[in-house]
Structure 1
Amino acid sequence: MTMTESTETKSLETALFSAADALRSKMDANEYKNYLLGIIFYKYLSDSMLYEIADEIGDGRENTTLAEAQKLYEENADDEDLQDELMDTFSYVITPEHTFTKVMDHVNDHSFQIVNLADAFKEIEGTNETFEGLFDDVDLFSRRLGNNAQKQADTISAVLSAISDLELVQSPGDTLGDAYEYLISQFASESGKKAGEFYTPQKVSELLTRLTLVGKQYPEGMTVYDPTMGSGSLLLNFKKYIGESQKDEIIYYGQEINTSTYNLARMNMILHHVDTANQHLRNGDTLDADWPPSAKTNFDAVVMNPPYSLHWSSAKGFLEDPRFSKYGVLAPKSKADYAFLLHGFYHLKNTGTMAIVLPHGVLFRGTKEGKIRQKLLEDGSIDAVIGLPANLFYSTSIPTTIVVLKKNKQDRSVMFIDASKEFEKGKNQNQLREEDLDKIIKTYEERKDVDKYAHLATFDEIKENDFNLNIPRYVDTFEPEPEVDLKQVSKDLTAVNKQIKDNEKELVGMLKQLTSKDDDIMEGINDIIQNFEEDLK
């Protein structure tokens, strides 16, 4: 990132947290993030359109302010050709009275009413199915914003004012998209456990993406899928690691059960400039109803960070579901971990790679999970097991593991990597460093033993361990205690004893210099001196 990009990002972060001050006393971070991210998204859509108008009928965006573009738009509002051009370019149109710039005019002349913004949101949502319901979580009429219409308007006015001067569209690179991701992570850290529903720490996200790309080339683009996509950060990472010429040829598929988080992912895709034709996102229950349909079932990469040990129906009917049927049993009702894993694996291409984050229990728990794990191992489907440090995630402090799966393996070996001890300790969460990621990727790629860090286990080894994949069975990280030098210990004790004797002699000398007219005190001092002198003999 260049200095200019860094400055722009910092400016955006500062402005959004300034806007948050208007809301922090009224609701927690998990709620006010909807207002802030929704409003910043609205400004981005509005500003993008006004700059395009400057290009089409003005002197160009470089020579035109947003206020000037707004005036141009108002003067040419009835131009049908302009309206068609905007719809073709953006798949939405905001009328002149509903742009962010116009709403800010109302704020500045103190005529702003909540309905001004509410109508703008409705207009955007109604122009294209891509935007349908996008602002549902921004409850502009909530009494938590204020106990009457004026106080609600004042609160939203403060939020709008805080971000009004930000330049979102003309920023270099993908500053806005990257800052948006950063802000999601910041809200995650404030909102605690709930954050796990929509955010995977960036370094973990990068690791999952990079693991699926090891040894792969996609010169004509690729398809990626996240069945529990949260805010979409896992999917969006592929743009960073696939070749520059292919990054616009990635087709994204994602599903998310939480509607608020689903809307967040949709905004995130647009802010990262993903073409609407390349994003296929769905609000739904991944386990309950399989999606996407079998005709579009195969993906080059599948990445997942599902909720851990979630309860699910585990109804007998799922035994006929092609995602689970070949394994003979279903994941336990109290732990859906393997249900998520098998869903993702079912949708993986024969030439693809899948990486999923799960709790360590999936490596060694028995009964139904043990049978599923054994079948996967017998099929050669599990390619690697990577142990991560504890306390990496906002939603849990437990250590987790990444399981890497493939369908086209040449053998049934499994690469075990214990990366649990290499991280940077943070104030609230631990963090993986770039060098930690590089070491994991290099070790996974080379598939060679590394002392106290990695081991390539044969299928026979795994079978001898009753298909238990607990990492300490394969990677010995035990560090023996250093041998004790008894001669040195003896020398140290002698030196300490001599020091004690010298200090006692010095103390006796000091006590002998003490005097008192009180006979009892002197008798006590003499007793102490006598005791020390007997010890010194």
Structure 2
Amino acid sequence: MIDATKYQEQASELSQKLWAIANDLRGNMDSTKFRNYILGTIFYSYLSERTEEYMQELLKADGLSYEQAFADAKYGPIVEQWSIKHLGYIIKPKNLFRELVRKIVHPSDDRDKFSVEDYERAVNELTGSTMGQASAAAFSGLFNDMKLHDPDLGDTVADRTALIAKVIVQISEIDFKLSDSQFDVLGTAYMILLGLFASDAGKKSGEFFTPTGPSKLVATLATVGLDEAKTVGDCTCGSASMLLEVQKHLTTGRVGHFYGQENNATTYNLARMNMLMHGVDYQNFDIYKGDTLREDKYGDVKMTVQVCNPPYSLKYDGNPALLHDLRYSGAGKLPPKSHADYAFVEHMIYHMDDDDGRVAVLLPHGVLFRGGAEAVIRKYIIKDLNRLDAVIGLAPNLFHGTSIPVCLLVLKSKRNGNSDNVLFIDASKEFKPGKNQNTLEDEHIKKIVNAYTMREDIEKFAHVADMAEIEANDWNLNILRYVDTYEEEEPVDLEAVRDDIKRIEGEKKASADKVESMLRQLGI
């Protein structure tokens, strides 16, 4: 379980330190650019530290440092080979992050001083080392957004060097505590950076980042009773925070392979960085760049667990040719062009493992009751496929960029005795109010998960609806049709109300008389 106090402490500490770094860059560029330099440098620092730890362990028995081994004619090719095989990349000793910091803080002479060109070369050599290797897909273009020759950093090499040197030194002073982190470091850092300056609010977008509470709820419900998962996927993976969250909720923590797809180029890079920073081997994940609805990068892969927080009510082209796509052909109708929500659901259903596939997806409430093509698709999923397991209504204002309440759908390929019913939960009152955003706390998550696993009627909170009841509602899933949340109002004492009215009228008349008397005395 996430320690809320520890989470707040770590997030606050990270926020303060990122603020100091961002202020150095703020005068030169807006947050949509400076975030790339900060996040890219955090990631480079991590890869460098990982190299040092790996080499220290590898060379321990030989009594050699990484620098000594790399320079040795015999050991040099071996350490390069092992670095590529086990880490997926090579960072030469001269390019280690601590060496860049040393050249900034304590250069041995003028020729040893740091230049932004040193950093650019180091990054290029890292990514270049993966070309033609099995790790190429995981590392290709990862640093594309960190343009170290960008004039916004400065007109001259000296100007760019001075600014980037500040960023490198300040990041070197942050302990990211990855092994003990309570949150998705890169995703959290990104959101902190976007929130630091209101002037860039128009460019702020949290569509790729799901807050900790909802992310944890989704991952918990998708993994109930699972020890491990052969495959885990997220078709709009954003920063990959929910993919990583799933792993935390498996009893053994074992995942055979992660799959993700992301259309935004910057976020696609962030997702791959995040997987690597959380110790997922480059051989154990595939994150694809592309539009999930138009191009299915998964092929025929079937997933044990799928989680998703897609962009709500996304407009898409709705090309009739998509009806020939096996993902969308079953219902015989495409979702309306103005609401792609069910297209994402159908994509996930297509990729569910038939033996024990699970899906947990966050969606706008409209998917529960809208008519037309969506009603046809909804009936197809509930009646014909019989994969809808639970419908959960969440509180409003839990997400970045939108205040609307959303719902969470849980789907299963094997209903395990529940094939004749669907569980409805009204969790709209389960939240901690906040000034700018509400939060879903551990106590709320626990209450929802307990209701899901117990699968019993709970007054004003949960109801197990059989298929006949849902059919009688014409396959409408509006939660209020199934969970009675009506609160009877206190009876009104009409006699007391009348007495209050008389008393108030009397007090008004007395006040008016007093004012009139005072005005007469003044001769007005």
Normalising by the smaller structure, the TM-score range is: 0.7 to 0.9
Give distance in 2, aligned partners of 1:444 and 1:205.
Answer: 16
Alignment of 1:401-412 (within 5 A): 401-409=407-415, 410-412=418-420
Per-residue CA deviation, residues 39-95 of structure 1 (Å, 9 max, x unaligned), is 01101111222233344446999xxxxxx9676567658732333333343221111
Quick one: distance in 1 between partners of 2:253 and 2:183?
15
Aligned partner (choices 329, 347, 350) of residue 343 of structure 1: 347
Equivalent position to 1:378, from 378, 383, 403 = 383
Closer/same/farther in 2, CA of residues 51 and 60 from structure 1, 3 Å limit: farther
C-alpha separation between the residues in 2 aligned to 1:201 and 1:477? 27
Matched to 1:49, the amino acid is T
CA distance 1:5–1:323, change in 2 (3 Å): closer
Matches within 5 A, 1:280-319: 280-294=286-300, 296=301, 298-319=302-323
Bigger mean CA offset, 192-201 vs 330-339? 192-201
The equivalent position to 1:156 in structure 2, one of 156, 164, 186, is 164
Query: Which of 207, 215, 240 matches 1:197?
Result: 207
Distance in 1 (CA, whole Å) between partners of 2:12 and 2:339 is: 41
Match in the other structure for 1:422: 430
Any conservation in 2 of the 1:114–1:152 contact (CA below 8 Å)? yes
CA contact (8 A) 1:125 1:131 kept: yes
Match of residue 518 from structure 1: none
Residue in 2 aligned with 1:37? Answer: 39
CA deviation vs aligned residue, 1:212-241 (integer Å, no higher than 9, x gap) = 122x333x5432110110000010002211
CA contact (8 A) 1:225 1:253 kept: yes
1:330 correspondence with 2:317: no
Residue matched to 2:404: 398
Q: Which residue of 2 aligns with 1:99?
A: 96
Structure 1 77/52 Cα, relative in aligned 2: closer, same or farther at 3 Å?
farther
Q: From the superposition, tell whether residues 142 and 489 of structure 1 become closer, same or farther in structure 2 (CA, over 3 Å).
A: same
Identity %: 38
Contact 2:145-2:266 at 8 Å conserved across structures:
yes
Change (3 A) 1:454 1:429: same
1:364–1:370 contact (8 Å) kept in structure 2: yes
**Alignment of 1:457 onto 2:470:** no
Task: Tell me which amino acid in the other structure corresponds to 2:397.
Answer: N
1:490: how far off? 5.7
Q: Deviations over 1:453-479 (max 9, x none)?
A: 222222222222222212222223232
State the Cα deviation string for residues 312-359 of structure 1 (Å, max 9, x = none): 222222212111111111112222111111001110112221111111
Partner of 1:253: 259
- 252-261 vs 274-283, which deviates more? 274-283
Q: TM-score, normalised by structure 2?
A: 0.86
Letter in 1 for 2:405: P
Is this contact kept in 2: 1:412–1:458, CA < 8 A? yes
Match of 1:65 in 2: none
What is the identity, as a one-letter code, of the residue corresponding to 2:521?
Answer: I
> Structure 2: any 5+ residue segments left out of the alignment?
131-135
Q: Is the 8 A contact 2:304 2:353 kept in 1?
A: yes
Q: Does 1:229 align with 2:237?
A: yes
Match of 2:123? 121
Using a 3 Å threshold, how does the CA distance of structure 1 residues 189 and 382 change in structure 2: closer, same or farther?
A: farther
How do 1:69-88 and structure 2 match up within 5 A?
72=68, 76=72, 79-80=75-76, 81-88=78-85
Q: Which runs of structure 2 are paired with 1:492-503 in the superposition (5 Å)?
A: none
Q: Does the 8 Å CA contact 1:422/1:432 hold for their aligned counterparts?
A: yes
Correspondence 1:388 to 2:397: no
Is it true that 1:212 corresponds to 2:222 in the alignment?
yes
Residue 135 of structure 1 is matched in structure 2 by: 143
Aligned counterpart, 1:89: 86
The count of aligned residue pairs is: 502
2:479 to 465, 471, 474: 471
Residues 8 and 366 of structure 1: is their aligned pair in 2 closer, same or farther, counting only changes over 3 Å? Answer: closer
Q: Which has more radius of gyration?
A: 1
Q: CA deviation at 1:262?
A: 0.9
The answer for the alignment partner of 1:272 in structure 2 is 278
**Are the equivalent residues in 2 in contact too, given 1:13–1:179 (CA < 8 A)?**
no
Gap regions ≥5 residues in structure 1: 62-67, 512-520, 529-537
State the partner residue of 2:441.
Answer: 433
Offset at residue 20 of structure 1 (A): 1.7
Matched residue, 2:190: 184
Answer yes or no: is the 8 Å Cα contact 2:69–2:79 preserved in 1.
no
Over aligned residue pairs, what C-alpha RMSD do you find? 3.3
